[in-house]
Structure 1
């Protein structure tokens, strides 16, 4: 067992959460945290605030995670970020139409005080966005230096002792790693030469890692999953995590699919379609941007039902994913899944899932958890890819790129809990509770 307790820095002072993309998800998070601070709402969906963890103790063996692990207090969090539109967080939240106006007006003063910094933006990576609140620059290195200056200024002005950055911006167009992304030296030369294959998300990530700020990629973009930025993370001892928040339809897949696999039921096909009307839906209406999201969403079942694992059950599985931009839906995404399975002697059956979810309501607590947990990782001296945060992500990065990621949400939770236990010097457990533990758990919730 690693000795984290001997070097786990306390969560003293303010934690700054910097967010590229102050759209529906980010404003829902920020407004929600302000409402929780005023005790007018509950942080439902955030494990760091509402979740419990089982310990192997005689007493107090099912505490709240926030009482077990020294996480940053949400009353000591400062928010900042960048956006291509100049509206303050209150105005942006009203425009997003995720939260009721009455709730937003209850925290109006706090939200109005948060104004976005000008974005590092390249419209070729999100052609359906036309915001003008963007930085002027000569080279992409100059652009990265401007973002670094923003980070330093925010930290000083808000009196933060630590910072983290969580990408909540749009899905960028699909592109693959190239020589530019192979080494840090090549990447920095690409910044100087305005390389077209250095995306805005990479510029934010580069700036954060240069400043020693942990970075989480909440979109399916190619960002910190390239050797150059992983080299920088290792060089500066900074933790990173990604990618793509696991919210609606994919959340259901990582719950249902492991159950089918566990029961050794075969899967012939899984058809998934969605309607979504917010800014994310608008961006994904472009085929180049949808391609990025499609690869991320397809990867979940490809790994859970890997044909090499059991070709008799999954060898012929057909997986199709569609996302349709439908403005009347707003942020209330609706997904439909048709699952063709087969059982004993090959007899066919079907499962239908219709999930009427609220995209940002599901994503906001994930952003909070990821920010608080990656800050914990930084204070514990954990650098590089944080596989234990895969619980929150559709397309999890792995430290060893030759290894398939784990997509089973239940196994992911065991890994997350065991990492927290290890950090706190507690024995690792399989998270399979005895009846007595379950009784205690129900009493404590």
Structure 2
């Protein structure tokens, strides 16, 4: 700690100029809900409910002098007024048409901002149907040369920045879940990865090409899907080389959000777990993509990892060693974006007596994801301006499978994640970190 000087608010570069938000999958339900919501908030038509950056508070100071400002008043984040949206999609519908098709937001929310949404037209996307089998758009970049696709995306970025007079950008993946991949030789070093791109290696996914183009263009990358993308040694190496922040993966919205709330409570009370059965019904485009077994495998791995890390069965074998964990997702078109996550949880307590918890979370997938997108864009831009680069573990709060540094375990407990996020903000702003609210009171200290 002595070798690193604490940052002070006045030492952190203030956000100047416009911030570009580049979105692969800009025509999807999450993206259009995010963009429409930001514009509605900018026009005073709605409130930023669900956004930690806009509504959250942070405790500062000691007991006798503590204050609780809003995070946006404490940390120099970019203003919503300075966000400019653009991106790529395999369908050429503008954002108003895409949002109308997604049917997340009602007409009385969309029509007042129709003029804004109609100006957002997607650039042709990099797409390979081998990685997303249940979609087939025609608004795509021609050919199959991977290096040419990377260069085309970089040209898109440069043109977007110039046309909109942007000072800086952040890229956030809101595209579909790709088929399951495991790290292989082309992913293990930057040199091998670049050679694989030049050789059109089939193990290089489209999401990786976007990440490569972003990082080479000096733009941070956020992975909102469970894809194997920026969490490979090759792109971690590139992020460090380019001094760019990276974060991911897979937005934590519905059922997994509930798991990261409930599982810490079971562990805190030392209640045992026999089994946790989770099923989902979902009818939007994400549900259609996940109806393919290879894309579902990617999502399943992300969802299954949560309990093991929270419950730590190696430390509590009598409570958690042999629990059964099952996750299913079922495509059900009538439900649309209104996902339903149902959990049946078999637990046991004193003397081993069994009990059950049942949760039926009738959520709205994109409504939960949109404020996550906003927070991640603003926090990642902050990291870029401060000079933080590589994996941003302090943003684990927002992800199902948070990226972490080699040799460490990911943190999944939602409340520990939130403490780490706020302590990072306190540290960057030169404030004392908080480990336990009110501890000084109970110890009789001042």
TM-score w.r.t. the length of structure 1 is 0.96
**Aligned partner of residue 435 in structure 2, secondary structure:** coil
Query: Would you say 1:79 and 2:79 are equivalent positions?
Result: no
Q: How much does 1:8 deviate?
A: 2.1
Q: How much does 1:137 deviate?
A: 3.2
Question: What is the rounded CA distance, in whole Å, between the counterparts of 2:41 and 2:377 in structure 1?
Answer: 17
Aligned residues of 2:423 and 2:434 also touching (Cα < 8 A): yes
Question: What is the rounded CA distance, in whole Å, between the counterparts of 2:272 and 2:416 in structure 1?
Answer: 21
Q: How much does 1:60 deviate?
A: 6.9
Report what 1:101 is aligned to. 107
Query: Would you say 1:220 and 2:223 are equivalent positions?
Result: no
Question: What is the rounded CA distance, in whole Å, between the counterparts of 1:265 and 1:181 in structure 2?
Answer: 41
Report what 1:430 is aligned to. 435
Q: How much does 1:138 deviate?
A: 4.7
Report what 1:443 is aligned to. none
- Alignment match of 1:12 (pick from 2, 13, 16): 16
Question: What is the rounded CA distance, in whole Å, between the counterparts of 1:165 and 1:303 in structure 2?
Answer: 29
Report what 1:372 is aligned to. 378
Q: How much does 1:306 deviate?
A: 2.5
Q: How much does 1:309 deviate?
A: 1.8
Report what 1:441 is aligned to. none
Alpha-carbon deviations, 1:17-70, whole Å to 9, x = none? 111002000000000001001101001000010110100166671000000000
Question: What is the rounded CA distance, in whole Å, between the counterparts of 2:109 and 2:349 in structure 1?
Answer: 49
Change (3 A) 1:205 1:433: farther
Change (3 A) 1:210 1:7: farther
Aligned residues of 2:59 and 2:66 also touching (Cα < 8 A): no
Question: What is the rounded CA distance, in whole Å, between the counterparts of 2:144 and 2:279 in structure 1?
Answer: 42
Question: What is the rounded CA distance, in whole Å, between the counterparts of 1:103 and 1:133 in structure 2?
Answer: 27
Report what 2:424 is aligned to. 419
Question: What is the rounded CA distance, in whole Å, between the counterparts of 1:89 and 1:273 in structure 2?
Answer: 31
Report what 2:210 is aligned to. 204
Aligned residues of 1:8 and 1:381 also touching (Cα < 8 A): no
Aligned residues of 2:271 and 2:347 also touching (Cα < 8 A): yes
Change (3 A) 1:104 1:60: farther
**Aligned partner of residue 241 in structure 1, secondary structure:** strand
Report what 1:282 is aligned to. 288
Question: What is the rounded CA distance, in whole Å, between the counterparts of 2:74 and 2:438 in structure 1?
Answer: 18
Aligned residues of 1:239 and 1:378 also touching (Cα < 8 A): yes
| Structure 2, unpaired ranges of 5+ | 442-446
Aligned residues of 1:268 and 1:341 also touching (Cα < 8 A): yes
Alignment RMSD, CA only?
1.4
Question: What is the rounded CA distance, in whole Å, between the counterparts of 1:113 and 1:431 in structure 2?
Answer: 48
Q: How much does 1:103 deviate?
A: 1.0
Alpha-carbon deviations, 1:127-174, whole Å to 9, x = none? 100111000135201100111111111111111101001100000000
- Alignment match of 1:25 (pick from 27, 30, 42): 30
Report what 2:444 is aligned to. none
Question: What is the rounded CA distance, in whole Å, between the counterparts of 2:11 and 2:138 in structure 1?
Answer: 45
- Alignment match of 2:135 (pick from 118, 129, 133): 129
**Aligned partner of residue 305 in structure 2, secondary structure:** helix
Report what 2:330 is aligned to. 324
Question: What is the rounded CA distance, in whole Å, between the counterparts of 1:269 and 1:103 in structure 2?
Answer: 42
Q: How much does 1:432 deviate?
A: 2.2
Aligned residues of 2:391 and 2:403 also touching (Cα < 8 A): yes
Aligned residues of 1:7 and 1:381 also touching (Cα < 8 A): no
Aligned residues of 1:54 and 1:431 also touching (Cα < 8 A): no
Alpha-carbon deviations, 1:267-298, whole Å to 9, x = none? 01000000000000000000000000000000
Question: What is the rounded CA distance, in whole Å, between the counterparts of 2:413 and 2:425 in structure 1?
Answer: 19
Question: What is the rounded CA distance, in whole Å, between the counterparts of 1:139 and 1:261 in structure 2?
Answer: 50
TM-score w.r.t. the length of structure 2 is 0.96
